[in-house]
Amino acid sequence: MIARTLVIARREFASYFATPLAAVFLVIFLFLAGLFTFNIGGFYDRAQADLRPFFQYHPWLFLFLVPAVSMRLWAEERRTGTVELLTTLPFRLGELVVGKFLAAWGFTLVALALTAPVWITVNWLGEPDNGVILAGYVGSALMAGAFLAVGACLSACSKSQVIAFVSCVVACFLLLLTGFPAVQDFFSGWAPRAVVEALASMSALIHFEAMVRGVLDARDLLFFTSVIVAFLFMNALVIDWKKAL
């Protein structure tokens, strides 16, 4: 099963680089990451040897760039009718779903890996806590994976990549929304504390910020893992349901 999943993942991963779109995505991601870090985030003005200005904008970068990667995963297959062909191949549906997800996640991790010069720069300028920076990268990778799983599921629901993109942006924004202080303050004014804490526990932003601070808590890892597994499972259900129609 693992070998067949990896075959699909390698095929899908290679397809990202078959067109100039991969280069365009990577250039846009790196440009915006640098812009937010050095210009808007005031990296040099802070005079601190850390990468907090770099990581704090990742949720907003992923909010638009990750749906751009995930929107084609299944929507394009459904539009061209090749999804029926895929499901007739000697692969299990779960292997197809996980393989496509791993390819998209791998492509996103390549984009993250290309930001390594920022890490090198902060080490050249000072003496940062590299353990905290590594935790931030882990958090970014997991958040990207969670957003991709959401996007893959929603891509399977529509033949239109535009609809898949917009619905993914909205869904991922809702995953972040409950972590906003304004939202928590609104509910804390009248809702029981248990409700406010429950809403906060469902926020990807809260879990991500904890990891950016260097805290790799099992609850944060479990949250992102659960989101990925849940949406990949729903992805398979949607594909199976659409196939039966």
Kindly report, residue by residue over 31-47, the tens digit of the pLDDT.
988 888 877 767 777 76
How would residue 245 be classed by pLDDT, with cut points 50, 70 and 90?
Answer: low
Q: What pLDDT digit, counting tens, does each position of 169-190 carry?
A: 999 998 888 767 766 666 676 6
Q: Give the pLDDT score at 134.
A: 92
pLDDT at 103: 93
Residue from 115, 91, 65 nearest 12 by CA: 91
Task: Return the C-alpha torsion angle 85, 243, 96, 62, nearest 10.
Answer: 120
Buried b (16+ CB within 10 A) or exposed e, 206-215: bbbbbbbeee
Would the pTM count as exceeding 0.75?
yes
7-to-11, 102, 240 alpha-carbon distances in Å: 6, 11, 21
What is the residue range of 95's domain? Answer: 2-244
* pLDDT (0 to 100) of residue 195: 66
Kindly state the tokens that stand for 189: 């004014």
pLDDT at 202: 79
Q: What angle do CA 172, 175, 178 make, to 5 degrees?
A: 140
> Among 10-19, 23-32, 214-223, 227-236, which range has the highest average pLDDT?
227-236
Spatial separation of the C-alpha atoms in residues 158 and 28, rounded to whole Å: 26
User: By mean pLDDT, which of 54-58, 124-128, 232-236 is the weakest?
Assistant: 124-128
pLDDT at res. 177 = 82
Query: What average pLDDT score do residues 231-235 get?
Result: 94
Query: CA–CA separation, 70 vs 171, rounded Å?
Result: 13
Mean per-residue pLDDT of the chain: 84
Position 104 confidence tier, pLDDT thresholds 50, 70, 90? very high
Q: How many domains does the chain have?
A: 1
Measured distance CA(2)–CA(135) in Å, rounded:
27
Q: Which amino acid is at 85?
A: L
Q: What is the pLDDT at residue 100?
A: 92
pLDDT in the model for residue 234:
93
Instruction: State the pLDDT at residue 114.
Output: 93
